[in-house]
């Protein structure tokens, strides 16, 4: 299998999945790993018999342990040091004379690769894929070959948890001397209408032989149902040791467009033929759609669409940075449930799997290249490599990704320090913008600016197509007035922080709390941050804005704001509030459990009727004291009941909730939110229930009961059947409940797990950002009454059985079937 080569076009379509070649081999199995410096490990005769055996992708740092000697800013985990990977393999005799390449989709970081003791290449940036031609270094006589990879991630190299190791897939690619180049197809659609789409294909073909050759290039196109809809064939001549481009187009009748609700995907099969002999065959998925933008907004297929977007880091919580397709799929499905239609890959190129899934699920993507250019944010950041590698890495990101229909913007940077450089900052932006336009002129460029007005006054924002504004909702109208030709949007918004299920009373706008948690009343954040409601309001007041990308959709490892340190501090260590070591920014916690904020966004971003109620109703010792009760809903009205007694009916948009605020460039200390309904009610044990009304009729309700003492464990699984491939995952939600099945909201019981059958327990979690409990263990404490267990299938079919036990609790068991 070969990863995709990407393409895209100006107004519309792109491929999305991996480009497939029959001779490509997944190279993830049977590696050897050693986590330390060791002399001579690149040599083919090095004794690695005692090294650890494992399969890729692999993140060594997530194994822990958490320790205060590691920087909490990067997750408090041992991601830096030296790691070695080695793999033994043989090559068949008939591979001699062919072109053999090894491709790494991502290795963190500063990868050096040897084959049979010979250095074949180096790539510093851990987020970009790369390949090397290893043909000259191989043995083809059946004897042993060894590939060795050394990674040397450094401390203070990242502002968040980067992971460590070969954390994305590896491929061995065996080709004839004449073959399609890496990322060698580029599909665009210069015309798209309801009746016809013009599909244009530019395919780069490499001739590694010593003779000129004329070959045929056949292009076949298939609709989303698998029917062939077009075919064309042409001959090209390729000089010896040269590359040629085959250019062609076809008309596709009545195209099925790729859109948010109908993410239709076509495929193209590109075949290189020498007479009747197939030299290479390459498959590319793409979508047919149009995008455009102006100062009034962003348009998809001619329809104005606002970004209901989230920023996402690349880790998957308890799994670390190692890529699991199901982990990314679950993450994106949860985001879609919140009403999200767009993803910003903050602040680096994402995995191939994430982009494939966005194509399949109908999510728009801003593909982001860098968090830093030449000027440092941390001591050992990418700035060390930018001069040599910046343009190369950006170009390769676009070549790899440009066929994904989901991608609608290239971002050249986030909050780069050069914003304040009046003389040269704009020249770097221009150079990177030029790279984007030369590689893919079909999409706009962007960047996230946080130092308003510097990047505008210093001619930097003018170098890109769409200016992203980080945390400046009150300045949208001012920017429009001063720079009327610049389209804008909120590239990072809100930065509200919270801990799932935690409520601090009275409601206060504090900086930090002694518990190392953050109240889930959804108003706390760092100095630049503000509640989501503020962004909702200014987006409504400025309809020309293309929308927003909230910081963040999911919690992530590292950057435990508001605890630990100051953002963008060179050499900053963030261990002042240990063990706080993970983000509180997410609308969803590190285990994938929605926080209350999830439902606030859902109430604004979805049309299916919903209603949410907070806080919990276990306030023993506070009987008679007023408890603030909030409801988030997209219904017209809501009525609150306490033990069956109405506390009043309120109208959304009319009955406002006053929020405490205190953020930069905003003078008032309160904000009257029309997006929340609230009541102050004296506490009495029992239940609270909210009923939502639409057009005067009761349509939705949510009830929370006072829970008794923890009595039992409850288990539920996201999917009861998974694939028996050794990589598929099942996520098991663990709840601590009273005897009547009510969630015990303050429970922190220790739960022990045992697994049998056709799978294993690979990670546990609970969403607590301030604990050093390991992710790889057979136990976990509940946090706010909940925990998580992640099961991975074996390659054999069967059943996985998980049993959960706890002292004084009724145990629970759940089964997952694994099929081919």
d(CA 225, CA 264): 9
Chain centre to alpha carbon of residue 23: 30
Cβ burial 514-546 (10 Å sphere, 16+ → b, else e): eebbbbbbbbbbbebbbbbbbbbbbbeebeebb
**Other Cβ atoms within 10 Å of 303 Cβ, number:** 10
| Annotation marks residue 492 as catalytic | yes
Q: Which of 103, 176, 492, 559 is catalytic?
A: 492
Residue 436 φ then ψ, to 5°: -60, -50
| Annotation marks residue 548 as catalytic | no
d(CA 419, CA 453): 9
- What residues contact 64, with CB distance under 8 A and at least 6 apart? 77, 78, 774, 775, 776
Q: What six digits make up the tokens of 717?
A: 């699984």
Q: Tell me the three state secondary structure of residue 319.
A: helix
Nearest of 309, 360, 247 to residue 15 by alpha carbon: 360
Residues comprising the chain, all counted: 820
Cβ burial 391-412 (10 Å sphere, 16+ → b, else e): eebbbbbbbbbbbbbbbbbbbb
d(CA 503, CA 520): 5
Give me the residues paired with residue 466 across strands. Answer: 446
Q: What six digits make up the tokens of 259?
A: 């859109």
Nearest of 412, 294, 271, 415 to residue 348 by alpha carbon: 412
Crossing angle between the packed helical segments 596-605 and 325-338, to the nearest 10 degrees: 60
CA dihedral angle for residue 675, residue 530, residue 363, residue 351, rounded to 10 degrees: -150
CB 292 within 8 A of CB 409: no
Q: Are strands 303-305 and 170-175 parallel, antiparallel or unpaired?
A: unpaired
Q: What six digits make up the tokens of 13?
A: 């379509």
CB 55 within 8 A of CB 31: yes
Nearest of 503, 548, 547 to residue 523 by alpha carbon: 503
Q: What six digits make up the tokens of 623?
A: 């009987």
d(CA 431, CA 434): 5
Nearest of 71, 11, 192 to residue 581 by alpha carbon: 71
Q: What six digits make up the tokens of 818?
A: 């694994």
**Other Cβ atoms within 10 Å of 190 Cβ, number:** 15
Q: Which of 131, 415, 637, 737 is catalytic?
A: 415
Residue 282 φ then ψ, to 5°: -140, 130
Catalytic machinery residues: 415, 492
């Amino acid at each position: 299998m070969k990863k995709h080569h990407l393409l895209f076009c100006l107004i519309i379509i792109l491929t999305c999945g991996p480009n497939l070649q029959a001779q490509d081999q997944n190279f993830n199995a049977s590696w050897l790993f050693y986590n330390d410096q060791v002399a001579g490990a690149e040599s083919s005769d090095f004794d690695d018999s005692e090294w650890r055996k494992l399969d890729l992708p692999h993140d060594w740092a997530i194994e822990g342990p958490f320790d205060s000697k590691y920087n909490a800013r990067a997750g408090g985990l041992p991601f830096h040091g030296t790691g070695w990977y080695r793999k033994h393999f043989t090559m068949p005799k008939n591979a001699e004379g062919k072109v053999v390449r090894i491709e790494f989709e991502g290795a963190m970081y500063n990868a050096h690769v040897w084959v049979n003791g010979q250095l074949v290449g180096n790539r510093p940036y851990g987020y970009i894929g790369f390949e090397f031609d290893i043909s000259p270094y191989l043995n083809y006589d059946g004897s042993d070959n060894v590939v060795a990879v050394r990674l040397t991630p450094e401390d203070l190299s990242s502002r968040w948890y980067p992971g460590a190791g070969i954390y994305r897939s590896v491929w061995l690619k065996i080709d004839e001397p004449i073959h399609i180049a890496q990322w060698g197809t580029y599909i665009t659609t210069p015309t798209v209408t309801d009746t016809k789409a013009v599909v244009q294909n530019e395919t780069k073909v490499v001739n590694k032989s010593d003779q000129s050759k004329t070959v045929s290039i056949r292009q076949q196109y298939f609709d989303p149902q698998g029917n062939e809809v077009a075919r064309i064939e042409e001959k090209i001549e390729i000089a010896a040791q040269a590359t040629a481009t085959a250019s062609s187009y076809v008309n596709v009748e009545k195209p099925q467009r790729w859109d948010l609700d109908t993410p239709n995907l076509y495929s193209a099969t590109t075949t290189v033929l020498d007479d009747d002999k197939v030299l290479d065959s390459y498959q590319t998925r793409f979508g047919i759609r149009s995008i455009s933008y102006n100062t009034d907004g962003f348009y998809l297929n001619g329809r104005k669409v606002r970004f209901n977007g989230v920023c996402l880091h690349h880790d998957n919580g308890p799994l670390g940075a190692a890529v699991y397709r199901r982990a990314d799929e679950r993450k994106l499905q949860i985001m879609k449930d919140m009403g999200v239609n767009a993803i910003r890959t903050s602040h680096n190129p994402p995995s191939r799997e994430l982009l494939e899934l966005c194509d399949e699920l109908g999510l728009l993507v801003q593909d982001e290249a860098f968090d830093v250019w030449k000027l440092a944010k941390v001591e050992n950041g990418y700035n060390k490599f930018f001069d040599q590698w910046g343009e190369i890495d950006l170009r390769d990101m676009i070549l790899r990704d440009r066929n994904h229909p989901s991608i609608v913007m290239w971002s050249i940077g986030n909050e780069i320090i050069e914003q304040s450089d009046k003389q040269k900052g704009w020249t770097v932006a221009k150079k990177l913008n030029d790279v984007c336009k030369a590689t893919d002129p079909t999409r706009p460029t962007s960047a996230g600016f946080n130092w308003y007005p510097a990047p505008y006054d210093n001619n930097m924002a003018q170098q890109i197509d769409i200016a992203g504004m980080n945390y400046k909702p009150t300045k949208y109208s001012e920017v429009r007035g001063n720079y009327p030709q610049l389209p804008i949007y909120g590239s990072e918004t809100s930065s509200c922080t919270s801990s799932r299920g935690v409520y601090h009373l009275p409601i206060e706008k504090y900086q930090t709390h002694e518990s190392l948690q953050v109240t889930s009343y959804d108003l706390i954040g760092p100095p630049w941050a503000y509640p989501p409601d503020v962004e909702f309001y200014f987006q409504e007041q400025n309809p020309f804005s293309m929308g927003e990308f909230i910081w963040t959709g999911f919690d992530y490892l590292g950057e435990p704001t508001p605890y630990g340190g100051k953002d963008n501090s060179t050499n900053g260590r963030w261990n002042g509030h240990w063990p706080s070591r993970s983000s509180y920014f997410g609308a969803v916690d590190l285990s994938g459990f929605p926080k209350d904020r999830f439902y606030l966004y859902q109430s604004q971003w979805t049309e299916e009727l919903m209603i949410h109620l907070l806080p919990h109703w276990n306030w023993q010792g506070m009987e008679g004291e007023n408890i603030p009760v909030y409801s988030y809903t997209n219904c017209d009205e809501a009525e609150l009941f306490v033990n069956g007694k109405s506390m009043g009916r309120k109208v959304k948009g009319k009955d406002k909730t006053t929020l405490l605020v205190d953020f930069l460039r905003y003078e008032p200390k309160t904000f009257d939110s029309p997006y929340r309904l609230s009541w102050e009610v004296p506490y009495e044990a029992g239940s609270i229930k909210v009923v939502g009304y639409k057009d005067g009729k009761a349509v939705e309700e949510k009830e929370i009961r006072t829970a008794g003492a923890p009595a039992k464990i409850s288990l539920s699984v996201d999917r009861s059947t998974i694939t028996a491939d050794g990589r598929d995952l099942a996520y098991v939600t663990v709840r601590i409940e009273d005897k009547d099945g009510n969630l015990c909201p303050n429970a922190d019981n220790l739960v022990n797990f045992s697994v049998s059958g056709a799978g294993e327990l690979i990670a546990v979690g609970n969403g607590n950002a301030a604990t050093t409990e390991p992710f790889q263990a057979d136990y976990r404490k509940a946090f706010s009454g909940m925990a998580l267990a992640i099961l991975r299938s074996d390659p054999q079919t069967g059943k996985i059985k998980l049993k959960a036990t706890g002292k004084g609790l009724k145990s629970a068991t759940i089964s997952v079937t694994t099929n081919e």
